Amino acid sequence: MLDISKIRDDFPILKRTVNGKPLVYFDNAATSQTPQVVIDAIVDYYSNYNANIHRGVHTLSQEATDKYEEARIKIQKHFNANQSYEIIFTSGTTHSINIVATGFSSILKKDDEVIVSALEHHSNIVPWQMLCEKTGAKLKVIPMNEDGELLMDAYEKLLSNNTKLVFVNHISNALGTINPIQQIINIAHKVGAAVLIDGAQACPHIKPDVQSLNADFYVASAHKIYGPTGVGILYGKEEWLNKLPPYQGGGEMIKEVTFEKTTYADLPHKFEAGTPNISGGIAFGVAIDYANAIGFENIQEQEQKLLDYATEKLLEIEGLKIYGTSKNKTSVVSFNIEGVHPYDIGTILDKLGVAVRTGHHCAQPIMDFYKIPGTVRASFAFYNTIEEIDVLVSAVEKAKMMLS
Ligand SMILES: *Cc1c(COP(=O)(O)O)cnc(C)c1O
């Protein structure tokens, strides 16, 4: 069992007040909070060894390069990638997906097919639509049911020898559903399709093993795993990363440049043009260490407790409906109160110190499925408490009273 009050001391922001009330931070699915060790790593970089990497012979540059590459290896081990150069540093999940989608525009042909799920974040929909527009490939959608689960029979029927690529999130950010990605990958591979897993929402809760999953691509953002914003990863199998063309041209990604021809650098640098977010990459490694020290089993146990309690207490409020009722879900509760706009609830909750997300959560197709404009989403992390959920529930009751 985790000592939550001790853990909360690791996160300075959790001590602040909002509108005169203690902050109750339930917007973890949008971005998680950052422990002091991660903040310290960023300050340490700028205070002691700020220099550009991979270029200089001088000491600071070498120190920065060593730390940055150590972080890559930490991340490789965490995701169990076969090689450290299969981990590409990016600015985040969105950037990672765009690297793959843009790369596939030189591989896909007219009448090839790609498959997305009904549960995706816009950043795992729009780049593929752009890809289809460019190539003439067709986009097909795995449907979902009322519980917010993908229909696996329908998925199998969508697959054919024309299917080249499937992209699905590991966990839905809007509903919290944990998708059966192992099964999704296995079935796709039977027809020779590659699979990209959007792990942005899964990584704070689950330690994915990309080799045992046999994922072709797995993408994530540091800021959802207790790390800084503006950094993330693209994991790709070596053979795929070699096959895809570089995304951006510039420094760092070349072997040799002449005006006649440029040859590209080896992995991972081929996809890392320009000066990266050096302190961010290093701090990402520290965040991964922090999460592993807490332990993913402990994280899951605490979050399950929070999810069960919040679900039970919120459902006691008359007229409150929860969207996303799969048995396989993480600590996200998306809900509405009959006759009340989610935005109005969110505004009142903020006055009471409770931070939640309202709206479509960058997943408008899910909202269209339920025929609603949006939801109120409370999303929990292991540093949240049962007492905070009591604050949420009474704040929602108050909002309901004021608004209906
Ligand atoms: C947050 C999120 C993204 C986008 O991540 P960025 O860090 O904004 O690029 C994509 N997919 C899912 C499932 C997410 O939760």
Beta bridge partners of 21: 18
For the stretch 36-87, pLDDT in tens is 999 999 999 999 999 999 877 899 999 999 999 999 999 999 999 999 999 9
The atom number, within ligand 1, closest to the CA of 95 reads 9
Residue 362 annotated in active site: yes
> Is 124 close to ligand 1, i.e. is its CB under 6 Å away?
yes
> Is 123 close to ligand 1, i.e. is its CB under 6 Å away?
yes
> Is 244 close to ligand 1, i.e. is its CB under 6 Å away?
no
Separation CA 296–CA 390 (nearest Å): 25
Residue 248: predicted pLDDT: 87
Q: b/e for 310-337, b at 16 or more Cβ within 10 A?
A: bbebbeeeeebbbbbbbeebbbbbbbbb
For the stretch 219-254, pLDDT in tens is 999 999 999 999 999 999 999 999 999 998 888 888
**Catalytic entry in 41, 362, 381, 399:** 362
Alpha carbon nearest to ligand 1 atom 14, residue: 200
- Is the whole model's pTM more than 0.95, yes or no? yes
> Is 330 close to ligand 1, i.e. is its CB under 6 Å away?
no
Residue 362 CA to ligand 1 center (angstroms) comes to: 9
For the stretch 99-156, pLDDT in tens is 999 999 999 999 999 999 999 999 999 999 999 999 999 999 999 999 999 999 999 9
Separation CA 384–CA 388 (nearest Å): 7
Residue 40: predicted pLDDT: 98
Residue 236 CA to ligand 1 center (angstroms) comes to: 18
